[in-house]
Amino acid sequence: MDDIWEDDDLGLLADVKPKIQHDARHQTGIAQFAEVNDFFRRHQRRPSESSGDFQEELLAKTLQSLCRDGECAEMLKAYDEFGLLNIDAAVISLADIFDDDDLDLLDAGNIEIFDFTHISEQQGKAYADEGNAERRECVDFWRFEALFQQTHAALKAGRAHLERLKTEQNLQKGELFLLGGQLCYIADVVEAEARKSNRAQFRLRLIYENATESNILMRSLARAVYKDPNGRKVMMQKPSENGDLLSGDPCREEVTGWLYVAALTAAKPELAGCRHVHKIGFTTTTVAARLAESVNDIAFLESEVKPVLAFECRNINPHTFERLLHTFFYGQRLNITLTAKNGQSYRPHEWFDVPLASIEEAAGYIAEGTINRYRVDQTTGRIVAK
């Protein structure tokens, strides 16, 4: 072997080095550092931890880890083609570049163009101080509930269909749209508040089928429906059908049912601690017929009851009216478990410990659409302004 090395007159074996044996940890480090070298070779820069690219950031952390491992870094010097293991040198070299800029080639020059002292802060935010649409509960949703239900039926039966908006056109009162996966109905159009834009603008009273409403701008609704991939306008076969579905027209008054308040004719021992026990219910027949079999109905606590108040519902869904009252007096609902004649336990859901006058007052506020301005005093059970 010595003769072979000594007779290498052409230097063919000058770069031959003995094979280095590495353990598994070093083999992993070599493979990882090879990826770093490949990155530098492609991009002519080190991988950055703030690039926003997950793979690059992971590679940057790998390089840092390899540099901190003294033993591994020493072993990797043989593979460091671009001086990537010397992080401090790279930082210093950048500083040297700026410090040695004798000709001011890196000077940013006149930066007065970045001075915005002569520009109003409102530029680019022309409508920042104008009112935005608000989503809130629709207190008179009972007027529109049937409209949404029958519109779904009309769509299913083929008496109506959906069309894409071809442009952000003006919208009209009485039109229905599919937006965000639910139907919405333009109940009213009113002129908007004074606005900075010269374009004519109107606010809508937009009713959604989830019992909420919004005072969205007309153009905003048109734009939202236009941009929604599933946004559509509801087209009825008969233009008058929408109006027929609404039950709020005083020319088409119709008795839709009765809302009643009932009281026990005799005290019930289990309710001895309650002073004003009343049942709030509704019926689509007559109150007398509904109460006729009260002694056999757990809805009436299997007791004799008498009606103490009743409202004839015209153009109002009585079940919705009942539900609104139940929600308003939720804190006064009887929290008790009773045993029926058949031995089964049950909890009454339509009985409340609340004065009769408060129930009548709340019903009036619901009819006016102002119930959202009031609350129930949990101590007295009386209604007070919010």
Q: Is residue 308 in a domain? A: yes
Q: Is residue 128 in a domain? A: no
Residue 154 sits in the same domain as residue 175: yes
Mean pLDDT calculated for residue range 237-263: 61
Last residue of some domain: 225, 245, 265?
Answer: 245
Residue 225 sits in the same domain as residue 257: no
* First-to-last C-alpha distance (Å) of the chain: 103
Domain of residue 261: give its range: 253-385
Residue 299 sits in the same domain as residue 236: no
Question: Can you read off the two tokens belonging to residue 346?
Answer: 């049950």
Residue 75 sits in the same domain as residue 146: no
Say yes or no to pLDDT of 226 above 50.
yes
Mean pLDDT calculated for residue range 199-216: 85
Residue 333 sits in the same domain as residue 316: yes
The answer to which of 22-31, 222-231, 283-292 has the lowest mean pLDDT is: 22-31
Q: Is residue 344 in a domain? A: yes
Query: Which of the two residues, 184 and 116, has the higher pLDDT score?
Result: 184
**302 SS3 class:** coil
Residue 354 sits in the same domain as residue 283: yes
Q: Give the residue among 63, 61, 101 at the shortest CA–CA distance from 83.
A: 63
The answer to which of 32-41, 144-153, 244-253 has the lowest mean pLDDT is: 244-253
Per residue in 320-379, pLDDT (tens digit) is 888 889 999 999 999 899 999 999 999 998 999 999 999 999 988 887 788 888 999 888
Say yes or no to pLDDT of 89 above 50.
no
Q: Is residue 2 in a domain? A: no
Q: Is residue 109 in a domain? A: no
Residue 336 sits in the same domain as residue 296: yes
Mean pLDDT calculated for residue range 147-169: 82
Q: Is residue 120 in a domain? A: no
Per residue in 28-49, pLDDT (tens digit) is 888 888 888 888 888 888 888 8
CB 66 within 8 A of CB 76: yes
Say yes or no to pLDDT of 5 above 80.
no
Say yes or no to pLDDT of 206 above 90.
yes
Residue 300 sits in the same domain as residue 366: yes
- pLDDT the model gives residue 140: 80
Place 251 in a pLDDT band, splitting at 50, 70 and 90: very low
In the chain, where do the E strands start and end? 135-137, 160-163, 176-179, 182-191, 202-208, 212-214, 232-236, 255-264, 277-283, 305-314, 338-339, 345-346, 351-353, 374-376, 383-385
Number of domains in the chain: 3
Residue 154 sits in the same domain as residue 240: yes
CB 336 within 8 A of CB 349: no
Amino acid identity for residue 56 in this structure:
E
Say yes or no to pLDDT of 249 above 50.
no
Say yes or no to pLDDT of 10 above 90.
no
The answer to which of 89-98, 150-159, 278-287, 323-332 has the lowest mean pLDDT is: 89-98
